[in-house]
Chains A and B, each alone.
Chain A
Amino acid sequence: GEDVEQSLFLSVREGDSSVINCTYTDSSSTYLYWYKQEPGAGLQLLTYIFSNMDMKQDQRLTVLLNKKDKHLSLRIADTQTGDSAIYFCAEKDSSYKLIFGSGTRLLVRP
């Protein structure tokens, strides 16, 4: 079945770049997403990428997609303490089912 995997934890210093990685197994994925969850809150959509793209940039966020290796990454430039949260990778095929990873907890140290 479909599976999305992420590392559990990442710690970076404020001002550095953060790179959160994700791998997925479903080759029929058409859209891939990054969501952010702050403590006590729901999931906030950060960005998404269509499977025929290999890069998307949106201000401090850069998404890289390697479709051959089924690898997705999210780079946050100039990471701030407000970026501390859990980041979820998700993939969707042509249906409505969003398949999520378990989330990566990002800790930004001052």
Chain B
Amino acid sequence: ETGVTQTPRHLVMGMTNKKSLKCEQHLGHNAMYWYKQSAKKPLELMFVYSLEERVENNSVPSRFSPECPNSSHLFLHLHTLQPEDSALYLCASSQVLGNNYGYTFGSGTRLTVV
């Protein structure tokens, strides 16, 4: 499979649950990103990894925990979330960190916290 793949596509979780979002790319890209997309708000950059090293933690609450075990996979571990965390979580990758020719996005995971 080509492109950036995110699973699951939809997730409903309670505030006391622990879940993980997965992102996978087979493009040979070295940088991966997590974005949060809330209704009527600009996309918010959450985390950035380059060559499996975290280079950005954009004031994200600790209930979100990223993991990048290799350059093809990125996870977002979730625990004790709040209803305001409900959003579309988008993963993106780029050939190198800050590639000028654009980032490739996955289709996102629609998260609902109840």
Contact = CB atoms under 8 A, between A and B. Distances in A.
Interface of A: 4, 8, 30-31, 33, 35, 40-45, 48, 50, 88, 92, 94-103
Contacts of B40: 8, 102
Interface residues of B, number: 26
A42 B105 contact: yes
Contacts, number: 55
Contacts of B100: 30-31, 48, 50, 92
B90 A43 contact: yes
B105 A43 contact: yes
B97 A96 contact: yes
Given A42-B90, A43-B90, A100 B105 contact: no
Contact of A96 (B4, B98, B101, B105): B98
A90 to B, nearest CB: 8
A101 B42 contact: yes
B92 to A, nearest CB: 8
A42 B4 CA distance: 10
